[in-house]
Structure 1
Amino acid sequence: MRTHTRRTAQKPWERFASVMALIWLVFLIYPMVGLVRSEAATAWVVLGWTALVLFVVLYVVGAIRGMRSDAPIGSPRGPGPWLFFAGLICCALLCAPAVGGTALSFLPFIMSFASYGLTRAWHWIAIAAALIIAALFVLLAPGGVGYVTLLIIIALLAVVNTVSTTLITRSAEAERLGLELATSTGREAVARDVHDLIGHSLTVVRLKAQLARRLIDSDPERARAELADIESLTAEAIAGVRATVSGARTVTLDEQLAASGDALRAAGVELAVDGDPAALSPAQALTATWILREATTNVLRHAEASLVRVQVGPGRLSIADDGRGRSDQEGNGVRGMRERAAAAGARFRIDDEDSGGTLVEVMW
């Protein structure tokens, strides 16, 4: 019976999205104090409080939606982010008559929302608009000099947002390129495998066909035996090509775990999985998928095991069995795993388990 335990995949940013969004709300203490001390008409004060509460709701909900979205920074999906952004601006404007200059405290939130939730162009538009508005207020409004601290905060936050979004975007691009490179490397390996397989098989088939042609008159029985061998070799070659080419399709680590479990179960081997495949990056997961596939094949062919344990963690995959352990000679499968790990910038280790069996481990 197979044991297959997994945790629900969840990004770290999703777990703490609401906490991070709420931490920034401490800066809204300024418009809150402004509303408490406001000398504006009661209607404006009531409208200001309503707008402030709505601003908080829109900001928190919009921030959580953005952090849970699969869309990369600079690529908002659908009208949602734009509606939230427009709502934040409207709330800040409605609150301004009651709080006066402290309405500048809304600008860091609006600017950050544009940086992380909208396009790159709107990142720059929001930064420029916030800096211009704050600078003009400090320079031209009566008592505006008292808000120079807010102008400095806005300027610093503009730098922080620009640097952080740039780094995040470049990191995502590097991850995408790494995945493409890993996929390309794997397909090149498949092409080599297919070439070698077909070349070898066709060479043998050609020799046997020539032999059968020479023997068909003098030794029909021997000729029939050679033809039977040709039929068998052809079937094996077709099966080998199909198996190799099927590996060219991008298979997720989740899918390979399920496929390995099915194959092991058919051989009477139990599979126990600990950890979450989402802990590995896409490029790491691709390499881990190849190594898991080859390790499963080795267990089925050589290990004589009854249990296989797979552990997945950040930057790590290990496969351990309780079989008879490694042989003294390293085969093509192990060399292939080692080469794939090296190509992915990972460390590969294969060793005997203290309690018997074999441990295969790849770490980034």
Structure 2
Amino acid sequence: MTTHAATNPWERFGWMMAVVWLVFLVYPVMALLRSDAAPHWISIGWFAIVAFAVLYVVGFIRGMSDGTAVGDAPRSGQWVIFSALIVCALVSVPAEGGSALSFLPFIMSFASYGLTRLWHWITTIASLAVTTATVLLAPNGRSYASVLAIIAMVGVVNTVSTWLIIRSAQAEALGRELATSEGREAVARDVHDLIGHSLTVVRLKAQLARRLIDSDPDRAKAELEAIEELTAEAIAGVRSTVAGARIAALADQLAASREALRAADIEVRVSGEPDVLSPSQALTSGWILREATTNVLRHARASVVNVRIAPGRFEVHDDGVGSGGREGNGVRGMRERAAAAGAAFAVRSDAGTHVEVTW
């Protein structure tokens, strides 16, 4: 298991839910205790109940830890467990009779959460059909009407809950795609602005050097040296932008900003965890933190920087000299990034500079 899996409470303790639900196997157990079937069928029934319980819990744990999402195709072993659960239910029928229907809610849930969406529907419809036929056709079938109601309820709950889980996963994937797209657009904008400005200046200086190369060689040489410096700065800027894209994730940017500020003897205090923000919010916050860190290092003369992270909110506050109401390129860049992410942006210069982004 990965580190994430090891620290995910659902993956560590979710098996307990499977164990708790096994309490409903009390109905086939009671049926076996009252059964007047042949002894060998009763023995098979007891073995089937134990095997069913073990297989159900093992399959539940495997389904949570194999990295597949609800509705995705599972590992081949899950199909073997699913088939074995059905066999256990079938071999219990001679000893338990209609009480063997109590296995169906477990089989339905296993298919809904551990197999594909198609098998969710196949198992749910088949369970409803078998139980309905038992209620209508079997002797004393009406005594199992409550089981039919439970199976219908489980079918509805499984259908709705799995649909919500799948939609949530799709929304999260879309958020990651949007965050990636926003990051790429931001990098493209930075590179375009940087290269566009640098190449414009280089072109003008090259034209000037060409005109001066005969009449004023010394000045032409100076212009060529300036072109060399501008080119080096542009290359460094592109590398810096690409490096910034690589650490745009908020957790990584927090570590990078903390290291940069501490190197300047500036204390960093962080409250909140990056994972309370969505992927797109975290990406935007990472970019804004990066720019805010640059501004602090260049202008603030601060001794402490406070970073606060809360659901839908990201703040950076330093105790420096403030901007005096002036809004430079860095602040304008942060404002543009926040607007592109659909966030409200505010900056105040009271007892330092306070940058706040809210969604």
Cα deviation, 1:180-202, whole Å, max 9, x if unaligned, reads 22322332232222222222111
Instruction: Give the whole-Å Cα distance in 2 for the aligned partners of 1:229 and 1:186.
Output: 32
Q: Which moved more, 1:139-148 or 1:269-278?
A: 269-278
Residue 115 of structure 1: how far off its partner (Å) = 1.0
Matched, 1:50 2:82: no
Matched, 1:222 2:219: yes
Matched residue, 2:144: 147
Residue 71 of structure 1: how far off its partner (Å) = 1.9
Instruction: Give the whole-Å Cα distance in 2 for the aligned partners of 1:203 and 1:327.
Output: 32
Matched residue, 2:335: 338
Secondary structure of the corresponding residue to residue 319 of structure 1: strand
Q: 2:179 touches 2:279 (CA, 8 Å); kept in 1?
A: no
Residues 112-127 of structure 1 mapped to structure 2, 5 A cutoff: 112-127=109-124
Secondary structure of the corresponding residue to residue 355 of structure 2: strand
* Count, aligned residues: 356
Amino acid of the residue matched to residue 142 of structure 1?
Answer: P
Instruction: Give the whole-Å Cα distance in 1 for the aligned partners of 2:5 and 2:304.
Output: 24
Instruction: Give the whole-Å Cα distance in 1 for the aligned partners of 2:170 and 2:303.
Output: 42
Q: 1:81 to 1:205 in 2, by over 3 A?
A: same
Q: Which moved more, 1:20-29 or 1:136-145?
A: 20-29
Residues 197-212 of structure 1 mapped to structure 2, 5 A cutoff: 197-212=194-209
Instruction: Give the whole-Å Cα distance in 2 for the aligned partners of 1:125 and 1:301.
Output: 64
Instruction: Give the whole-Å Cα distance in 1 for the aligned partners of 2:261 and 2:226.
Output: 31
Q: 2:74 touches 2:116 (CA, 8 Å); kept in 1?
A: no
Quote the sequence identity (%): 65
Cα deviation, 1:41-61, whole Å, max 9, x if unaligned, reads 444334333332332333233
Amino acid of the residue matched to residue 129 of structure 1?
Answer: A
Q: 1:205 to 1:163 in 2, by over 3 A?
A: same
Q: Which moved more, 1:223-232 or 1:78-87?
A: 78-87
Matched residue, 2:70: 73
Q: 1:54 to 1:232 in 2, by over 3 A?
A: same
What residue ranges of structure 1 are gaps of 5+ in the alignment?
1-6
Q: 1:41 to 1:293 in 2, by over 3 A?
A: farther
Q: 2:74 touches 2:114 (CA, 8 Å); kept in 1?
A: no
Matched, 1:303 2:304: no
Q: Which moved more, 1:10-19 or 1:294-303?
A: 10-19
Q: 1:253 to 1:134 in 2, by over 3 A?
A: same
Residue 165 of structure 1: how far off its partner (Å) = 1.6
Residue 250 of structure 1: how far off its partner (Å) = 7.3
Q: 1:92 to 1:290 in 2, by over 3 A?
A: farther
Q: Which moved more, 1:118-127 or 1:189-198?
A: 189-198
Residue 351 of structure 1: how far off its partner (Å) = 4.0
Instruction: Give the whole-Å Cα distance in 2 for the aligned partners of 1:13 and 1:339.
Output: 38
Q: 1:270 to 1:234 in 2, by over 3 A?
A: same
Instruction: Give the whole-Å Cα distance in 2 for the aligned partners of 1:93 and 1:206.
Output: 83
Amino acid of the residue matched to residue 199 of structure 1?
Answer: G
Cα deviation, 1:66-88, whole Å, max 9, x if unaligned, reads 33443221114422322332232
Matched residue, 2:155: 158
Instruction: Give the whole-Å Cα distance in 2 for the aligned partners of 1:50 and 1:351.
Output: 72
Residue 9 of structure 1: how far off its partner (Å) = 8.2
Residues 1-364 of structure 1 mapped to structure 2, 5 A cutoff: 10-11=7-8, 13-14=10-11, 17-249=14-246, 251-351=248-348, 356-364=351-359
Residue 64 of structure 1: how far off its partner (Å) = 3.5
* Deviation beyond 6 Å, 4+ runs, structure 1: none
What residue ranges of structure 2 are gaps of 5+ in the alignment?
none
Cα deviation, 1:245-297, whole Å, max 9, x if unaligned, reads 34444753333233223323333334444444333333333223223322322
Cα deviation, 1:3-56, whole Å, max 9, x if unaligned, reads xxxx99844634652343344333323222223322234443343333323323
Residue 162 of structure 1: how far off its partner (Å) = 1.7
Alpha carbon RMSD of aligned pairs, Å?
A: 2.9
Cα deviation, 1:142-171, whole Å, max 9, x if unaligned, reads 111111121122122222222222222222
Amino acid of the residue matched to residue 362 of structure 1?
Answer: V
Q: TM-score of the superposition, structure 2-length normalised?
A: 0.86
Q: 1:171 to 1:291 in 2, by over 3 A?
A: same
Relative contact order, higher structure (CA 8 A, sep 6+): 1
Q: 1:132 to 1:84 in 2, by over 3 A?
A: same
Amino acid of the residue matched to residue 165 of structure 1?
Answer: T
Cα deviation, 1:337-360, whole Å, max 9, x if unaligned, reads 33333333444444457xx44443
Residue 320 of structure 1: how far off its partner (Å) = 3.6
Secondary structure of the corresponding residue to residue 87 of structure 1: helix
Residue 232 of structure 1: how far off its partner (Å) = 0.9
Q: TM-score of the superposition, structure 1-length normalised?
A: 0.85
Amino acid of the residue matched to residue 172 of structure 1?
Answer: A
Cα deviation, 1:108-157, whole Å, max 9, x if unaligned, reads 11111111111111111111221121112112211111111211221222
Instruction: Give the whole-Å Cα distance in 1 for the aligned partners of 2:65 and 2:343.
Output: 29
